Amino acid sequence: MHKNFLKKLTSMLLISSMVVGSTAMLTGCGSSKDEVVTLDVYSQLANYSGLQTGWIADVLKKKFNVKLNIISDGDGVYETRMEDGDLGDIMVWANDSDRYPTAVKNGLLYDWNEDDLLSDYGKYIKKHMSAALTKNQELTSTITDGAKDTLYGFGHNVATSSEDHESFFYTWDVRWDLYKQLGYPKVKDLDDFKKLMHDMVELCPTDDSGNKTYAVSLWPDWDDAMVMYVKATVTAYYGYDELGIGLYDPQTGKLHDALEENGPYLEVLKFYNDLYQDGLLDPDSMTQTYDKMIEKVQNGGTMFSIFNYSGSLAYNKKEHTENGKLMYCMKPEKATPIVYGMNPQGGDRIWSIGATTEYPELCMKVINYLCTPEGRLTTEYGPKGVCWDYDEEGNTYFTELGKKCNSNKNTKMGGDYKGSFQDGTLQIVNTTWSIDASNPDSNGETYNSNNWKSNLSKAETDIEQDWRDKTGCTGINDYMEKGNYVVSPGTSYTKSEKSDELKTTWSQVTTEITNGSWKAIYADTDAEYDKIVNDMIRKCNKYGYDECVSWTANEAAKRKSLEDAVTK
C-alpha cells in the first residue's frame, strides 16, 4: 500500500471513530453526514484571513457542506507552515517559480492522480483542462530534474483556445463627463495627459463627500520587484510586460531594465512625481491599502485609472451614471497597451492540494466546481438564478440584482444571503478559467459580461451614448481593438528558479527599487527627485543589480524563444 494512502486511511478511521462517538452522545446515532468540514485554504494572493463569509460561503456550504478558512501570506506564515510540513488543505500560489518548487521538492503537495483522485472527483478539470494539467506535470519534471512528472495542480486563467487574446484591462479610464465638458481635447502623449488631469481636477475639485480630488490614487499592496503602478503604466503605455527586474517588449524581445537611463520605468516614475508636485497625486498612495483606494474611486475622488477594475468598474455606480457621470476609456494616442494572448496551458498562479489533508476528495470537489461554467460564473457574478442565468437561447444575462451587484459591489444581496455582494467575494483571489474563455454552457459566449449579447444591445445612459457617439464604438474591446496595442503571446514560459545567493541579492535590490521609487514619487522638486534616483541606482549597483539584470536577460531570451515558436 502507498504510504500516503495508509496515512489517509488511518486519519479517516480516527476521525470516523471520533465523529461517531460524539454524534452518538448527542443524537443516539452514528451518522456524520451532516458534519460541516472546514478546509484551510492557504492563498498567497489573499488579502484576508479568517472564515470565508457571505453568499459564496452559503453556496459552498449548501453544495459541499464545507467552510473555507482563508490563510493569507503574512510575515512568517509560509516559513512556519513549511516547518510544520502542513501548508493547508488547498493551496494557491502567487507564481510557480518562487516557493512552489520548494513545496514540490519537500513532498508537501498531493498527487492528483493518487487513488484516481482527479478521475473520480475532478472530472470536469480532467476533461476540459488537459493542456494545463500537462504543463504542470512538465513543470514537476523541470523542478525535479526529470526524476518525476507528478501532477500537482494547474495554473490560473486557462483558455479554451489560443486563437484569440483576452479582453483589455489596461483601459485608460478617465472621467468622460469631465472630458466632455472640457471639449474633448486631443491627448497625444503623457504630457497631454498630465494637462488633462490638471484641467479635470480644476473642473471638479471635490468628490461626492466634499473631499479634495486627485488625478489618481495609488496603493503599495502589490509592489514586487518595482512599484506596481509605475511598471504597470509602462505596460499600459508602451506595451512592455513586467519580467523580473525590468520590462520586456514582446514585439522585439528587448529587455528594458528598471534603472535603464532614460528607460521606460524611470520615465513613468517621473510622470507620477510630476503629478505629485502639481498636487494631483493622492498623498496617501504610499501608505494606503487597495480597499482604501477603491473607496476613493467609488466616491469620485480620482480622475483616471490605467486599469478597468480601479476605474470604470469601481466608479460607474447607478447614482453616478444616472446623473450623467461616467468613467470610461480614453487612452493617449501614442499608448499601445498590452493585451495577453489566450493560453490553454494556463498561467503561473497554481491551484494545488496539501499532501497532509484529511479531505483530498472534498478539496478536489471544491476546485472542480470552481472550474465548471456554473462555478466560474458564480464566483465572478454571484449565485445562479439570483444574480445571473441563461435565457431560452442560451445567452447569459444579469438579473436586476445581478446588474446592481456588477455595477456596485456594495449592493446588499437580500433574500437568504446576508451582507453585500462584496462581503461574499471569494477571498482566495485566484481564477480557474480566463474571464474571456468560451463558456460551453452558453450560446457561444464567454464568461466576460462585457461581451454578453444582453449587455451590448444599447447604451444604459445618455453619457454612455455620448461616449459611443464620440468614439464610434459599442464597447471597451471594440474601442481598444480600433487603436494600437501589443499582443503578448501565451506560451508555456515559467520563470527559472533563483539560487539562494541570488534570492538574497534580489531581495536587497528590489527592496531598494521599491522604497527608492516611492521616495522619488514624493520628491518636492526636480533636484530632490534626481538625487533620490541617483542614490537608488548607486545602492542597487552596490547590492548586485547587474546579477539581477543578467538573470532577467536570460529569462527574456527564454521567453522570446517560446513566443517565436507559437507565432510562426
Say if residues 331 and 337 touch (Cβ distance below 8 Å).
Answer: yes
CA distances for 420 relative to 186, 405, 476, 526, 536, angstroms: 40, 8, 27, 45, 44
Q: Which of 304, 236, 225 is nearest to 264 (CA)?
A: 236
Q: In terms of DSSP H, where are the helices of 472-525? A: 476-482, 500-521
Distance CA 543, CA 508 (A): 7
Q: What's the pLDDT tens digit per position in 73-128?
A: 988 999 999 999 999 999 999 999 889 999 999 999 999 999 999 999 999 999 99
Mean residue pLDDT across the chain: 92
At 332, phi and psi to the nearest 5? -60, 145
Give the DSSP H/E element, type plus range, for residue 38. Answer: strand 37-43
Amino acid 6: pLDDT: 38
Residue 7 has pLDDT above 70, yes or no: no
> Does the pLDDT of residue 44 top 50, yes or no?
yes
Residue type, 30: G
Dihedral of alpha carbons 244, 250, 255, 257, sign: negative
The answer to whether 238 and 248 are in contact (CB under 8 A) is no
Q: What is residue 433's DSSP assignment? A: B
Give the H/E segment covering residue 532.
helix 526-543
Residues 6+ apart with CB under 8 A from 348: 93, 95, 96, 97, 155, 156, 494, 495
User: Grid coordinates representing 451?
Assistant: 461581451
Residue 566's pLDDT is 80
Phi–psi pair at 100, nearest 5 degrees:
-60, -50
Q: Does the pLDDT at position 170 exceed 50?
A: yes
- How big, in percent rounded to 5, are the helix, strand and coil portions of the chain? 45, 15, 40
32 falls in which pLDDT band (50, 70, 90)? low
Please enumerate in sequence order all residues whose Cβ is within 8 A of that of 165, keeping only pairs 6 or more positions apart, or say none: 339, 340, 341, 342, 436, 487
As a whole number, mean pLDDT of residues 423-441 equals: 96
CB 341 within 8 A of CB 490: yes
Contact 41, 68 (CB under 8 A): yes
Q: For residues 16 and 8, what is the distance between their CA atoms, to the nearest angstrom?
A: 12
**Strand, helix or coil for residue 173:** strand
| Residue 33 confidence (pLDDT) | 60
Element (H, E) at 4: helix 3-27
- Average pLDDT (305-320) is 94
**In the predicted model, is pLDDT for residue 444 greater than 80?**
yes
Give the residue, 80 or 1, on which the prediction is more confident.
80
| pLDDT at 130 exceeding the cut of 80 | yes
The three state secondary structure string of 67-119 is EEEEEECCCCHHHHHHHHCCCCCEEECCCCCCCHHHHHHCCCECCCCHHHHHH
Whether the per-residue pLDDT at 490 is higher than 90: the answer is: no
**pLDDT score recorded for residue 16:** 41
Q: Number of helices (H) and strands (E), helices first, in the chain?
A: 23, 17
pLDDT over 90 (residue 312): yes
Instruction: Select the more confidently predicted residue: 33 or 402.
Output: 402
Report whether pLDDT(419) > 50: yes
Label residue 382 left, alpha or beta by phi (over 0 means left) and psi (-120 to 50 means alpha): left
Span between the terminal Cα atoms of the chain, in Å:
48
Match 516614475 to its residue by C-alpha cell.
269
Q: Which residues contact 295 (CB under 8 A, 6 or more apart)?
A: none
pLDDT band at residue 360 under the 50/70/90 scheme: very high
Task: Annotate 297-315 with DSSP letters as a single string.
Answer: HHTT-BSEEEESTTTHHHH
Give me 16's grid cell. Answer: 470516523
Percentage above 90 pLDDT, the chain? 85
